[in-house]
Every structure is written in structure tokens, then in C-alpha cells.
Amino acid sequence: MQPIIRTENLDLYYEQFHALKNVNLDIPEKAATAFIGPSGCGKSTLLRTLNRMNDQIAGTRIEGLVSLAGDDIYDKNMEVESLRKRVGMVFQQPNPFPKSIYENVAYGPRLKGIRGKKELDEIVEESLKQAALWDEVKDLQKHSAFGLSGGQQQRLCIARALAVKPDVLLMDESTSALDPISTAKIEELIREIKHRYTIVMVTHNMHQAARVSDKTVFFLNGEVVEAAETKTLFSTPEDSRTEDYISGRFG
């Protein structure tokens, strides 16, 4: 698996607090990578470094390198707006815009300068199909996004993120606020799209990591304890701390 994202000797501090410690990680392209570990181990912090969402948190300091397809994303010439088009994000709580279903998905492509109705219609349809929502909303596109269920809203947010054709989709516990059926739908769609996009997901649910990811990274206290192919990590972990965690002895 070819890496698309690489971190080298990455350290992150919140003021004096050392939240990520010497993280060296390769994220494979067009595959799903899951970050697992107990609460507070740094999973979301690392996820946010991958599209510079941490820039918005005062007192954050970074050392080391994060590269995307060979580009240093913390380089002074890197435009954060264009980085975020390449690296989209879906959060824990669905956060659709207070607009119609159609306008939620068309928003990003419009910002990119796409104006033609036919082209926008096609992008909206394709994105909603990729997010496994099209069949449910194709006749409701002018309706408010707020009329959808939580699970549908989350799939709409995934469609919105995919509409700008990102290279990478970051998912920060994107199913933890959803019921089991909605969760299963999103897991299914991750399995469908991971061959086309690079997915990096934070999950509290080890079973979810085992079900949908190709690579799993186990964190503890801001450090990567073990990163391996998912099957290997869950069947024959190398580190006894990984084994203790996946067998439920802590966390």
C-alpha cells in the first residue's frame, strides 16, 4: 500500500502539554486507516493535524513533518483553503448547513467556481450516490437538510465532503452519535468508497475498526504503540499493550 500521508517525528503541544510524541506514520492511499486507543490518547489531535484544523486552537505548537503526496502541509506556502479541499472532514455530530439538501452538496463545487446547472446536478447526484443517500432523497433535494434523520444528515455531510473530490476524507467518530442501523449504513459506504478515497477514521469502537479498516493504528498517551494491517493488529499484535487493549483489559 502506497502512503499518501506521512508524518515524521511529529510532536504537538497544547501550551505545555505534550499531546503527540514523535509520531512516525504512513497512511496508505485509497484505503481506510483507523485510529484506536483509550480516551485522551491523541487520536483526534492527530486527525486534526492532517488538515490543519488544529491551527484554530490557540496555544498549539507543532514540530516535525506532515506531508500529503509529498507536500509539506505546514510549509508557509501551503494554502490552508486548498489543503482542506484535498483533505475533507466529517465530524462526530452531523453539521449540515441550514440550506436545502441540494445546496449542501453543491456548496463546495460552487466555491470551486462550478456554475453550470447541469454540471452541478451531476456532481450532486454522484456525491449523494457515493454517500448511499440518493435513493432516499432524490425527490426531496429542495427540502431542508434539517428534515433528514441524524443518520441521513451524516451521510449528507459525507456527500458534501465528497462533492469537491478530496484525496483524503477524515472521519472523527462519525458514527458515534448514530443508531446501529445508520452506523451500519455508514460502515458499508466506507467499505464502498475506500477504494477511491483515502479514509482516516477515529473510532472508539474496535469492532468498527476491525470491520472497515485496512490499517489500524493503536495510540497510548500521545504515542503510536503499534501500526499494522488491521487483520494482523487484531490477530497477532506485537506489543503487549495492544493485546491488553484489544482484549478489553483496559480502556
Q: Please spell the DSSP secondary structure of 33-48, one letter per residue.
A: EEEE-STTSSHHHHHH
Q: Is 40 in the site for ligand ATP (CB under 6 A)?
A: yes
Letter for the amino acid at 80?
V
Q: Is 132 left (phi over 0), alpha (psi -120 to 50) or beta?
A: left
Out of 8, 11, 13, 14, the residue judged to bind ligand ATP by CB under 6 A: 14
Radius of gyration of the chain (CA): 18
| String of contacts with ligand ATP for each residue 185-224, x by CB under 6 A | -----------------x-x--------------------
Out of 7, 33, 45, 49, the residue judged to bind ligand ATP by CB under 6 A: 45
Q: How far is the CB of 103 from ligand ATP (least distance, A)?
A: 31
- The CA distance from 77 to 16, in Å, is 27
Q: How far is the CB of 46 from ligand ATP (least distance, A)?
A: 7
Q: Is 13 in the site for ligand ATP (CB under 6 A)?
A: no
- The CA distance from 16 to 12, in Å, is 10
Q: How far is the CB of 59 from ligand ATP (least distance, A)?
A: 7
Cell of 130: 457515493
Choose one: 23-31, 35-43, 139-147, 238-246; the region binding ligand ATP (CB under 6 A). Answer: 35-43
Tallying the residues shown for the chain, one arrives at: 251
Site residues, ligand ATP (CB under 6 A): 14, 17, 19, 37, 39-45, 57, 202, 204
